[in-house]
Structure 1
């Protein structure tokens, strides 16, 4: 592809093509960090001869993200971009795992390497795992892999874990906005001489008279603060707009929200991971600024691309309300779903296309108001630390035309570098009869895609089903045969409920359950998390079964007292919406015509 320099114009006829990559939720942890601690150097990895600072497999299999192998996935993604010649790279938050010095500095080193050696430009915005507390503070993790495979706690102070043997290291403390943005100052948080324009929410937009020196003078974080209600306290807002190449404006929105209790500026802070439902209230200054930025971009014929850690549109393919009814309002991260009112605020302010992370899913959401005056596309960028591991690219050939492609990370070099250490951990857990023993099947993974897939499978069995699913619904979905589902789909309400009750009673009284259709719940997570990428992994015979059975089931009715039928019908209505989603793999968006179309590969 043609590489585009800083001053290459974006030609309306599309003779030049600009390509931007989006890598989200990297959750980078320095796997060979210098803890600068006399208490613990890490654990010796015989494969490399280096001391690894990694978390246990037990902790990884109880988390919605990986902590260790995603380091290698990040490097693989950057190498892929380098080979493709893509030089503009956006990181929509959670670029580190909790913003500790060792992790921020590891990211800094990696980004500086690719910037200086290959001319790549990086633009970041903060996520809830980057500035956990706005002004930093003591922190620690109790689940690093230690001697002989047992857990090792590491903290900035022993008092963080008073009941444990703690290795002390200030490299594991939280950094706040001042430290994180200073270390990563070259990556969007502050002006760069290469940029044609840069501004933040607390200054006037003066495109005509822009100068780098004036931008730098006004970019100090002390000048980029807003009052926290009537507390007398002020918080930084790391938002900015930048024109890295002519015609493209990248709008970085810092959606982090914090509350404060106590008197100490450094203590008493609590972060929220809800996103713009709260940011639209506590950061109203952002909405006013977005309106100005969008109007200025339109006036000057710029393509405005918004990005934040947090989504701006519902991300369950319209199924969120049904999911709340079936699973409960606080399951499946439903409290993080933007309300229609929130989407309307940001669409009305002028955002047409928005790239987000946070949810660790692949999805495309579309908001359109009743008058069809405002349309907003929300592109969910998957995480590099979870299934499906992928990044997205956006090609802009005209001002309003985007071609968006999702690039899975199937093969990742060094993916199995720590597998022998995990086996040592597993032996320790067995010998000590630890209840957290995990399934070693994951260590047979042939590639990174399979590894993250197995990670999701283990999470589904050990965490998601027990905590999120109605017991009888899970029991039915894991054990009903295709024949039984067909029979039930053709029975009337009353007889259908009796039929299901008999199956539930039989299963509960049986000492063994077949689990023959565990695949239905697995397929649900493939669709919910992976969308088009997940659907590809569902075998053809099951896809055919769903196409046959779902249209029949979703037409069935139920009364509230028919609890088994109600739950099963609701589940398949949700499944149907996920199954027939907006394009999320390779597709085009025309902002002028308000159209989105799948591109067949």
Structure 2
């Protein structure tokens, strides 16, 4: 055989998957593909390719969710006039994310993907808010539409919200709103509140699906191979959804098959996409009880303990990718590296080790273990923030893809050229058509709260000029209503009762800080809000104070405290500790740029 000849082995793959769980329709997929080995590296060179990564959609389908509920009990969509089931604005302003508008933002993002002529789209988890049948099937309908109309291919991997627990369980929410603007509960029939008659309404559409139902419903969007794939494999040497699991056994020798939907796919020649299911549902007590904690705070810190064989498989994938000159890009729901702008110790010192959801950050040891697999590029979600961590020490680049459900909504694009050089770009979804179409319903909610003398939220959010402004207003209210509770109460009182100029004076920095422009009379809590803007959006953040203000304040603080970390300050000086943390975060976040290059 000559050196330019190829050795091909034809492999036939057959599998059965349920296309429509609700109807039980069954399709058997059989196809052939070739695995080709060659000694000529040039034959494995990847043509230029782009992959979009859209994380943390948290899709809720208001119209579909109302389908089995009394029509006269619910508000109507101002455009379609159909009944809709919306989460209350009070609920949205108490959460790290929006709920209702996300379906519109997702479609805008997909339209942008189409306009950029990108054909491959990865979904790193939390594509729905809690894996409810209505939302999973609504997501499937959207993915099917863009697949058939525009030729997009989707590659989903699970997040901690899909599923909430590994196996199907009752679900529902207590904070939907009715046509009068009052909050109502809607639970699945097997939920205790439905069984006891306490829930306002019951709907089977709101139970929380487990792995089996979610993977079956989205089988065409990553979880099972497609005839177009050059390669598809899992850590379990099978594509059968029922057989993809780890066996966990406790000391009583009782075992549970814990699902894991990880897979490797070669959608186009030369590109390997590694979808890592990083969910870890730790058992509560004995496995025999089949009770598990959620995976939101587990992540890779738990994965290295509970899924060691998954790491072995990843190492093997990396070795084979190098040998075959494949360009390997990995993605999962959870971060693989630090995402706090190198301020982890300062955050712990001022706010506590578990503040700012820091329990979700992988330890340095965990990152070292993950980097030891040989992975070079990983894109994750979960934290609803944009961050880029490039470690020369570990050789691993971790990109935190911004959430579509938070400030600022966006997604990331990986472009790989013929030489294997890659560019990671992040784009913001700035405009969303009809983003305010439900504002009149929220106004009715606010009016109901006001008339019934219940605590109201700041309705200035309903004056948002565009969706980007809406997410900023949302973040501001979440900071004031939730995040400030993590900061020392005396410090919050000090900031709340002073202007920015007065705080600068208290730190003896007034002579050094000249760039306050028209911001000097702003309430000093805007410093904390700017901290969260920068933490969430990196270089995309739009701050209340001018950029030079933070440069000058940082220089002043460094002149007073040369080590420039909050640990060097006396425990009693919370204000200066806070300002060091805020300025360091804002300055460091500028390095989270819209475009990052590396070699795979």
TM-score, normalising length: structure 2: 0.85
Shift of 1:135: 1.2
1:375 corresponds to 2:406: no
Shift of 1:470: 0.7
Partner of 1:485: 504
Deviations 1:282-332 (A, max 9, x none): 111111000100000010001111100000001002111221111011110
| SS of match in other structure, 2:273 | strand
Corresponding residue to 2:105 among 73, 92, 103: 73
Partner of 2:470: 451
Partner of 2:76: 44
Distance 1:319 1:515 in 2: 26
Unaligned runs of 5+ in 2: 1-32, 35-39, 511-520
| SS of match in other structure, 2:169 | coil
Distance 2:52 2:473 in 1: 27
Partner of 1:222: 242
Shift of 1:145: 1.3
1:28–1:107 Cα contact (<8 Å) kept: yes
Unaligned runs of 5+ in 1: 1-5, 204-217, 492-513, 593-601
Distance 2:110 2:69 in 1: 34
Distance 1:117 1:561 in 2: 59
2:333–2:381 Cα contact (<8 Å) kept: yes
Distance 1:559 1:581 in 2: 20
Distance 1:434 1:386 in 2: 26
Shift of 1:485: 2.4
Partner of 2:16: none
Distance 2:556 2:172 in 1: 50
Partner of 2:435: 415
Distance 2:573 2:43 in 1: 55
Distance 2:423 2:543 in 1: 21
2:187–2:199 Cα contact (<8 Å) kept: no
| SS of match in other structure, 2:465 | coil
| SS of match in other structure, 1:384 | coil
Corresponding residue to 2:187 among 155, 160, 163: 155
Partner of 1:135: 167
Distance 1:237 1:346 in 2: 18
Shift of 1:44: 2.0
Shift of 1:34: 4.8
Distance 2:83 2:561 in 1: 55
Corresponding residue to 1:315 among 339, 364, 369: 339
Partner of 1:565: 573
Q: 1:17 to 1:559 in 2, by over 3 A?
A: closer
1:10–1:398 Cα contact (<8 Å) kept: no
1:24 corresponds to 2:55: yes
Shift of 1:515: 6.4
1:554–1:573 Cα contact (<8 Å) kept: no
Corresponding residue to 2:459 among 428, 433, 440: 440
Partner of 1:494: none
Q: 1:402 to 1:10 in 2, by over 3 A?
A: farther
Corresponding residue to 1:286 among 307, 310, 313: 310
Partner of 2:356: 332
Partner of 1:178: 212
Deviations 1:569-600 (A, max 9, x none): 354145314412473232232237xxxxxxxx
| SS of match in other structure, 1:455 | helix
Partner of 2:4: none
Q: 1:397 to 1:559 in 2, by over 3 A?
A: closer
Partner of 1:576: 584
Distance 1:395 1:64 in 2: 30
| SS of match in other structure, 1:91 | strand
After superposition, residues 149-298 of structure 1 pair within 5 angstroms as 149-157=181-189, 159-160=192-193, 162=196, 164-203=198-237, 218-230=238-250, 231-261=254-284, 268-274=291-297, 275-298=299-322
Q: 1:81 to 1:101 in 2, by over 3 A?
A: same
TM-score, normalising length: structure 1: 0.85
Deviations 1:341-384 (A, max 9, x none): 10011110111100000000010012343xxxx40000000000
Partner of 2:118: 86
